[in-house]
Amino acid sequence: MGILTYIIPFLFVLGVLIFIHEFGHFAVAKLFGVRVETFSLGFGPRLFGFKYGDTDYRISGIPLGGYVKMKGENLDEKLDYTGDEFLAKPKWQRFLILFAGPWMNIVLAVAIPMFLAMYFYQEARHYSEPAIVGSVAQGSAAAKAGIQPGDKVIKLDSLENPTWRQLELKITNNADIELKVTLERNGQQIQTAITPKSSLIERQKIGNSGLWPQLKEESVLVERVIDGSPAKQAGLQEGDKIVKLNEETVKNYYWLQDSLQNFEGKETLLSVERGGQTVELKMLPRRENDGKVRVGFAPSQEFITPPPMVSGQKTIAEAFKMSLAKNYEVMVLTKEALTQIFTGQRKAGDALAGPIQIAAISGKMYETGGMESLFNLMALLSLNLGIFNLFPIPVLDGGHIFILIIEGLLGLGGLKLSLGIKEKMMQAGFVMLLLLMGFVIINDVSKFFTKGSSAKPAASKPAVAPAPPPAPEAKPATAPPAVAPVPEATNPPAK
pLDDT digits (tens, 9 = 90+) for 40-79: 998 889 999 999 999 999 999 888 788 999 998 887 777 7
pTM over 0.75: yes
Closest CA to 363 of 214, 484, 271, 241: 484
Asked if residue 351 lies in contact with residue 333, where contact means CB atoms within 8 angstroms, the answer is: no
Same fold, 130-212 and 220-293: yes
Closest CA to 106 of 488, 482, 493, 459: 482
- Pick the catalytic residue from 22, 202, 336, 488: 22
Minimum mean pLDDT among 17-31, 57-71, 224-238: which range?
57-71
142-156 pLDDT tens trace: 999 999 999 999 999
Cβ atoms within 10 Å of 376's Cβ, excluding its own: 21
Q: Which pLDDT belongs to residue 19?
A: 94
Phi/psi of residue 57, nearest 5 degrees: -90, 120
Asked if residue 473 lies in contact with residue 73, where contact means CB atoms within 8 angstroms, the answer is: no
What are the distances in angstroms from CA 424 to CA 356, 409, 417?
A: 32, 19, 12
161: left (phi over 0), alpha (psi -120 to 50) or beta: left
6-22 pLDDT tens trace: 788 888 988 899 999 99
Please report, for the chain, the start and end positions of each structural domain, with discontinuous segments joined by +. Answer: 3-118+357-484, 130-212, 220-293
Q: Which pLDDT belongs to residue 493?
A: 31
- Model confidence at 484, pLDDT cuts 50, 70, 90, reads very low
Segment 25-47 mean pLDDT: 93
Asked if residue 65 lies in contact with residue 468, where contact means CB atoms within 8 angstroms, the answer is: yes
Q: Is the pLDDT of residue 411 over 90?
A: no
Q: Which pLDDT belongs to residue 201?
A: 64
What are the distances in angstroms from CA 334 to CA 101, 424, 457, 461, 472?
A: 20, 30, 21, 10, 30
180-216 pLDDT tens trace: 999 999 999 999 999 999 876 656 678 899 999 999 9
Q: Which pLDDT belongs to residue 458?
A: 33
Q: Which pLDDT belongs to residue 450?
A: 59
Minimum mean pLDDT among 26-40, 280-294, 448-462: which range?
448-462
Q: Is 273 a catalytic residue?
A: no
Q: Which CATH class is domain 220-293?
A: mainly beta
Q: Show the 3-state SS of the chain.
A: CCHHHHHHHHHHHHHHHHHHHHHHHHHHHHHCCCCEEEEEEEEEEEEEEEEECCEEEEEEEEEEEEEEEECCCCCCCCCCCCCCCCCCCCHHHHHHHHHHHHHHHHHHHHHHHHHHHHHHEEEEHHHHCECECCEECCCCHHHHCCCCCCCEEEEECCEECCEHHHHHHHHHCCCCCCEEEEEEECCEEEEEEECCEEEEECCEEEEECCEECCCCCCCEEEEEECCCCHHHHHCCCCCCEEEEECCEECCCHHHHHHHHCCCCCCCEEEEEEECCEEEEEEECCEECCCCCEECCEEECHHHCCCCCEEEECCCHHHHHHHHHHHHHHHHHHHHHHHHHHHCCCCCHHHHECCHHHHHHHHHHHHHHHHHHHHHHHHHHHHHHHHHHCCCCCCCCHHHHHHHHHHHHHHHHCCCCCCHHHHHHHHHHHHHHHHHHHHHHHHHHHHHHCCCCCCCCCCCCCCEECCCCCCCCCCCCCCCCCCEECCCCCCCCCCC
Cα torsion 65, 68, 72, 78: sign: positive
More confident position, 39 or 413: 39
Segment 261-281 mean pLDDT: 93
Q: Is the pLDDT of residue 459 over 50?
A: no
Q: Which pLDDT belongs to residue 202?
A: 58
Segment 76-88 mean pLDDT: 83
Minimum mean pLDDT among 86-100, 341-355, 379-393: which range?
341-355
CA torsion angle 44 50 56 60 (round to 10): -10
Which amino acid type is present at position 437? M
- Model confidence at 392, pLDDT cuts 50, 70, 90, reads confident
Q: Which pLDDT belongs to residue 203?
A: 62
- pLDDT above 70 covers a percentage of the chain that reads 87
Closest CA to 114 of 382, 327, 330, 333: 327
Average pLDDT, the chain: 83
Q: Is the pLDDT of residue 2 over 90?
A: no
Q: Which pLDDT belongs to residue 487?
A: 32
Q: Which pLDDT belongs to residue 167?
A: 94
Q: What angle do CA 81, 83, 85 make, to 5 degrees?
A: 75
Segment 340-356 mean pLDDT: 74
Domain at 130-212, CATH from 1.10.580.10, 2.30.42.10, 3.30.310.80, 3.30.750.24: 2.30.42.10
Distance of CA 115 to the CA centre of its chain: 20
Q: Which pLDDT belongs to residue 457?
A: 33
More confident position, 102 or 396: 102
Q: Is the pLDDT of residue 464 over 50?
A: no
What are the distances in angstroms from CA 5 to CA 12, 18, 59, 204, 305?
A: 11, 20, 22, 20, 29
